[in-house]
Structures are given as C-alpha cells and as structure tokens.
Amino acid sequence: MIVHCEERLREAREYAAQLGDHSLQKCLDKLESWERDGRMVHLCRDHAPYSFGFRLVAPDGRLIMNGGLLYHGFPDRSDAVTLDDLNLWQTHT
C-alpha cells in the first residue's frame, strides 16, 4: 500500500487506539488483501477527519476501483452515516 498521507493515518490509528476500535486496521488489511498480481492500493486524504480515499491501480497504471475508507463516528468528526455502531471505519466503493 502506498500511503500519501502518513500523518493523517498516524492520527487515525492513534484515535482508533484511544477508542479501542479495531475496524480501521481491519479495513486497511482488507485493502492490502486486494494487492495481488501487481495491483497497488493508494491511500489518500479525505476532507473529513479520520477518513481516507483510496484507489486500486493495475500494474499498467489503469484505475481498477476507487472509494473511501470512512470514519462513521461522532458527528463533529464524520461526514458519513451508518447504522452499524460496531465498525466505526468502513470501506465504500
């Protein structure tokens, strides 16, 4: 995985640790599992705190898929809504 926002990811990991939440790491693991046969995931900043955009790119640079790894927590820190209170971070494609 190529992380284009190391500081943002560090902040999100620290926040997830404070909350005792493991869903961020589960989402990162899922994204990394898509990296096979030369495919690469690029993780980028999102405008919402603790959220990210991602794209899955083929070895030739062609875009395969893009989406978001979004934080669904407290309203002042999230632009995403969910009915799932167990997974504060979720991937959306």
The whole-number mean pLDDT for each consecutive block of 10 residues of the chain, a chain of 93 residues, reads 98 94 96 97 94 97 97 65 66 85
How far apart CA 91 and CA 11 sit, in angstroms, is 18
**Angle at the Cα of 74 from the Cα atoms of 32 and 53, rounded to 5 degrees:** 30
Distance CA 18, CA 11 (A): 11
Residues of the domain holding 65: 2-92
Comparing C-alpha atoms, which of 30, 24, 89, 87 is closest to residue 56? 30
Q: What is the pLDDT of residue 14?
A: 97
pLDDT at 18: 94
Say which residues have a Cβ less than 8 Å from residue 29's Cβ, sequence separation at least 6.
none
Domain count, the chain: 1
